[in-house]
């Protein structure tokens, strides 16, 4: 029994991620309420280059919304936009920041047809009927490779109020906060590290959070310097 446990411990110690820990960060807004959709980036003392995601990261358009609203990917990854609505969308990149002062890390636009399995004759919330098939781009899926770090705002030429956000991270350790304002990052190297936060609506940079990573999970919390606007839906 002890031999078994010792063996297990040795195994754990012997794996590549032996010197790695978990960091869990809870982000609250300035009023103390949980803040979802906050980008969290961790940089340990020994920085490392992010490697692209193994497969394309999917962002769908459903009900004239980008799902998910926020997508964080490592630099070099491919984004795949999939239109699931039964009407066209025209996805485009744009500047980020509450008043659009941060240039998009990557500029792109793509016309995406209504989803192929949809029944024709539907209308979108604005009463636009689906475009006749022959006028469309021929596809309801589009891909783009993001090879520069930074934020990219998402919009739609046809539906002006559609909003989304992409953040291209140049560190392998990143996450976004969930509905409860909680973000977890695993496999973080031991030692000192710094957490950088970013929210698309912030006017000023957030104060970074210093952590000390070890075998035992790190749990910490922080507060944003503002109260994000409630997002529709």
Partner 1 sequence: MPFKPSRVALACGVLPLALVCAPALAQSSPPSASTHSGKLLLTGGVSSIDGAAGGGLTPWAVTGGYGTGTEFGGSGFVTRVKTQDFGLTGYGVAASWGDRVEVSLAQQDFDTGPVGGALAAFLGDPGFNGLHLKQDIVGLKVRVAGDAVLDSDTWMPQVAVGLEYKKAHAGHLGDSLPALGNQSVLQLFGTKDSGTDLYVSATKLFLAQGILVNGTLRATKANQNGLLGFGATGHTSYKLMPEFSLAYLFSKNWVAGVEYRAKPDNFKDNTVVGAGALKEDDWADVFVAWAPCKTFSLTAAYVDLGKIVPGVVDKRQTGFYLSAQIAF
Interface ranges with partner 1 (CB under 8 A): 94-104, 107, 153, 155, 160-161, 203-205, 225
Contact assessment for residue 64 and residue 86, using Cβ atoms and an 8 Å cutoff: no
> Measured from the CB atom, is 204 or 216 closer to partner 1?
204
> Measured from the CB atom, is 47 or 157 closer to partner 1?
157
From residue 52, alpha-carbon distances to 16, 148, 170, 190 in Å are 20, 11, 10, 23
> Measured from the CB atom, is 74 or 164 closer to partner 1?
164
Min separation Cβ 160 and partner 1, Å: 3
Burial class (CB in 10 A: 0-12, 13-18, 19+), 119: exposed
Q: Torsions phi, psi of 204, nearest 5? A: -125, 155
Min separation Cβ 226 and partner 1, Å: 8
Min separation Cβ 200 and partner 1, Å: 8
Residue 33 gets the label, from left (phi > 0), alpha (psi -120 to 50) or beta, of: beta
Min separation Cβ 164 and partner 1, Å: 11
> Measured from the CB atom, is 132 or 233 closer to partner 1?
233
């Amino acid at each position: 029994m002890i031999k078994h446990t010792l063996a297990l411990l040795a195994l754990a110690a012997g794996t590549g991620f032996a010197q790695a820990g978990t960091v869990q960060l809870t982000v609250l807004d300035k009023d103390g309420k949980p803040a979802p959709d906050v980008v969290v980036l961790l940089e340990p003392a020994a920085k490392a280059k992010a490697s692209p995601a193994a497969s394309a990261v999917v962002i769908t358009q459903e009900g004239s919304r980008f799902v998910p609203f926020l997508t964080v990917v490592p630099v070099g990854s491919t984004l795949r936009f999939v239109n699931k609505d039964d009407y066209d969308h025209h996805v485009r990149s744009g500047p980020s920041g509450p008043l659009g002062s941060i240039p998009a890390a990557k500029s792109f636009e793509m016309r995406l047809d209504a989803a192929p399995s949809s029944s024709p004759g539907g209308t979108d919330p604005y009463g636009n009927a689906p475009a006749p098939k022959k006028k469309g781009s021929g596809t309801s899926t589009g891909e783009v490779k993001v090879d520069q770090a930074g934020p990219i705002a998402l919009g739609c030429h046809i539906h002006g109020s559609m909003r989304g956000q992409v953040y291209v991270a140049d560190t392998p350790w990143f996450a976004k906060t969930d509905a409860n304002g909680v973000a977890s990052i695993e496999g973080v190297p031991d030692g000192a590290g710094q957490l950088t936060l970013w929210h698309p609506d912030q006017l000023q940079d957030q104060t970074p959070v210093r952590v000390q990573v070890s075998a035992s999970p790190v749990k910490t919390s922080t507060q944003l310097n503002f109260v994000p606007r409630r997002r529709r839906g």
